[in-house]
Amino acid sequence: LAKTTQPISMDSYEGQEVNITCSHNNIATNDYITWYQQFPSQGPRFIIQGYKTKVTNEVASLFIPADRKSSTLSLPRVSLSDTAVYYCLVGPTNAGNMLTFGGGTRLMVKP
Amino acid sequence: GAVVSQHPSRVICKSGTSVKIECRSLDFQATTMFWYRQFPKQSLMLMATSNEGSKATYEQGVEKDKFLINHASLTLSTLTVTSAHPEDSSFYICSARDPQTARETQYFGPGTRLLVL
């Protein structure tokens, strides 16, 4: 399983765009990149998943360069409620494969 | 997205007792579920992979006789913490893959807070 590296923490202000970058230098050909959000005392919540280039949904965008050795989660116009820990995970998606969590990035959104 | 539930949401027990935590996939069938443990300010640590109809696969360092896992149906996996001790106090989270979604996204339960006195 590819190991991931993320910043331990980030601070932002309401209304700003937040970009969290994750490094995964040894990503495998059949690996996807998935981001989860976790609030205190709750289970992680799926945000977005991608394989290459750019993926966008109603919550976030995920940018993946051609070499796929990194990815960037982009949260547009964050609010206080976006304060959470964000995890980047890399792995194949076939059934039965577990996810290995790294340290995550603790995002603090300030008013 | 798919929903995974856990019961109970929190439990307090005396040292030496056993505690059972249930994990259910509510709107899909999951042949595989995963159990994680999370200590305060730390990341999730995979404990074991629960396979329907067969024995669970435990991660290194996790005692299979202490953390009993039963995956009796395609929608239910249970984790029993036997003879719990204060050091077992933690946040236990299960997850399940929905094989019907395009990329089999893993969905997590809300977690169970265990406090052993």
Q: Give pLDDT, residue A98.
A: 65
Task: Tell me, rounded to whole angstroms, the distance of Cα B94 from its chain centroid.
Answer: 4
pLDDT in the model for residue B99: 73
For the cut 80, the answer to whether the pLDDT of residue A1 exceeds it is no
Measured CA to CA, the distance from residue B72 to residue B54 in angstroms comes to: 9
**Residue ranges in chain B whose pLDDT is less than 50:** none
Question: What is the C-alpha separation between B69 and B48, in angstroms, rounded?
Answer: 8
Q: Which chain A residues are closer than 8 Å to B104 by Cβ?
A: 93-95
Average pLDDT on A68-75 reads 97
pLDDT at B107: 87
Confidence of residue A50 (pLDDT cuts 50, 70, 90): very high
With 60 as the cut, is the pLDDT of residue A41 above it? yes
C-beta pairs of A5-8 under 8 Å, 24+ apart in sequence: A5/A102, A6/A86, A6/A87, A6/A88, A6/A102, A6/A103, A6/A104, A6/A105, A7/A105, A8/A103, A8/A105, A8/A106
Q: What percent of chain B has pLDDT over 90?
A: 73
Q: Quick one: pLDDT at residue A101?
A: 84
Question: What Rg, from alpha-carbon coordinates, does chain B have?
Answer: 14
Confidence of residue A107 (pLDDT cuts 50, 70, 90): very high
Q: Chain B residues with CB inside 8 Å of A96's CB?
A: 31-32, 49, 51, 97
Comparing CB atoms, the residue among A46, A95, A100 nearest residue B107 is: A46
- Residues 95 through 114 of chain B touching chain A, CB cutoff 8 Å: 95, 97, 99, 103-111, 113
pLDDT for the residue A97: 62
Across the interface, of B49, B93, B104, the residue whose CB is closest to A94 is B104
Q: How many Å from the N-terminal Cα to the C-terminal Cα in chain A?
A: 38
The pLDDT of residue A77 is above 70: yes
Q: How confident is the model at residue A95 (pLDDT cuts 50, 70, 90)?
A: very low
Mind listing the pLDDT tens digit for each residue in A28-38?
998 889 999 99
Higher pLDDT, A97 or A7: A7
CA distance B34 to B5: 13
